[in-house]
Amino acid sequence: MTTDVTQSLPEEYYQLLLELQELDFVLVELTLYLDTHPDDTAAINQFNDFSYKRRVLKQEMEEKYGPLQQFGNSYSNSPWEWSKGPWPWQI
């Protein structure tokens, strides 16, 4: 069973998704920086801090709205939650 495309998601979902995207952006930028500055301890600590924040936020989102990723990156309850949606193109 999939989510009805016309069914709107709560505003909180979009806010959490935006926060997750912001954290992803920071992590990508820090990864690129650390590729050229591997000994920058402050940047490594910052990367680890944002990585932890992302894991916590991802867990919160998945507990409320179901899995965000597949291929072993997210757990599923029973029944299989991946088919529930929303799919990326439905948001």
In the chain, where are the structural domains located?
11-90
Amino acid found at 47: F
Q: Does residue 21 surpass a pLDDT of 90?
A: yes
Q: What is the pTM of this model?
A: 0.72
Distance CA 87, CA 43 (A): 34
Confidence at 26, pLDDT banded by 50, 70, 90: very high
